[in-house]
Amino acid sequence: MGMRSIENILKVNKLSVTAGRQKILQLFLNSGGALAHADIEKMPGSILTG
């Protein structure tokens, strides 16, 4: 799924399109299943690890 589709998902749900939201949404779309907060933190390049 491209960035344009991710932007559309955010906009349709009346959310601001930010780099952080796009990255988190991309992680969920690529995962194929549920993710816990800890799973996201462990991912290379995670925005949550600062």
- Length of the chain counted residue by residue: 50
**Residue 15 within a domain:** yes
Can you give the pTM of this predicted structure? 0.73
Domains contained in the chain, number: 1
What's the confidence (pLDDT) of residue 27? 87
Is 50 within the bounds of a domain?
no
pLDDT at 49: 62
Place of tokens 């559309």: 8
What domain range includes position 14?
Answer: 3-42
The pLDDT tens digits for 16-45 are 999 989 988 988 898 888 989 888 888 777
Cα gap 9→26, rounded to integer Å? 11
